[in-house]
């Protein structure tokens, strides 16, 4: 059946998600509109396509046992020179993100993987662009602030066009995820939208 490239993340809700996405595009990051604004839980991971059902079941189990927590973004940071990334800092909710990603990447689960760097929750606003543009992103968002309650996460698949599309949302406990509509300029999986938070799209081959 081949493999698919999956990622798991916490969406930054509106209006913040679209605002940061548009700013990222404005800094010259051409990938911006293919990457909904998010806090990564599992980075791009290649998985056998026939394990998708197992992945979904695992994520549903993790989400069902987790509870909402506060998230707050403030100011900027960078991973330079180790990695060409400028990000908005997660100043509240980092502990929740760290616990959650550990459960999602359970060594005995279908999304087990080693990380290239220690886990550090953040919201990327510039990646792999010129140093001058990254400096601009760092300065422009130095006073940025946003706050919300995280009530779930989502599973995404990267298509052969490099675009990340949402496969399914996983609300914590019970009830819908609030505030995570499709962002301006981002592709929308119409099948998932029509089916609602519990809907799934057909599997796409990367």
Q: Please list the pLDDT of the chain residue by residue as tens digits (206 residues).
A: 699 999 999 999 999 999 999 999 999 999 999 999 999 999 999 999 999 999 999 999 999 999 999 999 999 999 999 999 999 999 999 999 999 999 999 999 999 999 989 999 999 999 999 999 999 999 999 999 999 999 999 999 999 999 999 999 999 996 444 444 444 444 434 333 333 433 333 323 32
Cis peptide before 81 (omega within 30 of 0): yes
Q: Is the dihedral of CA 158, 160, 162, 166 positive or negative?
A: negative
Q: Of the candidates 130, 128, 163, 152, which has an alpha carbon nearest to the alpha carbon of residue 44?
A: 163
Angle, CA 127 vertex, CA 122 and CA 130 arms, to 5°: 140
């Amino acid at each position: 059946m081949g493999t698919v490239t999956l990622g798991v993340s916490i969406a930054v809700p509106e209006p913040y998600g679209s605002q940061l996405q548009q700013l990222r595009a404005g800094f010259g990051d051409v990938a911006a509109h293919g990457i909904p604004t998010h806090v990564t839980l599992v980075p791009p991971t290649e998985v056998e396509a026939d394990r998708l059902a197992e992945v979904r079941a695992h994520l549903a189990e993790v989400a069902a046992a987790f509870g909402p927590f506060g998230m707050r973004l403030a100011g900027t940071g960078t991973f330079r020179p180790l990695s060409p990334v400028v990000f908005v800092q997660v100043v509240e909710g980092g502990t929740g993100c760290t616990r959650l990603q550990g459960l999602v990447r359970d060594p005995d689960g279908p999304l087990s993987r080693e990380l290239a760097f220690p886990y550090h929750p953040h919201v990327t606003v510039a990646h792999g662009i010129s140093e001058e543009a990254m400096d601009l992103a760092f300065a422009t968002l130095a006073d940025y602030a946003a706050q919300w309650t995280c009530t779930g996460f989502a599973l995404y698949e990267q298509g052969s066009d490099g675009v990340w599309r949402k496969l399914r949302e996983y609300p914590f406990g019970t009830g819908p995820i609030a505030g995570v509509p499709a962002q301006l300029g981002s592709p929308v999986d119409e099948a998932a939208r029509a089916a609602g938070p519990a809907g799934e799209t057909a599997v796409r081959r990367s």
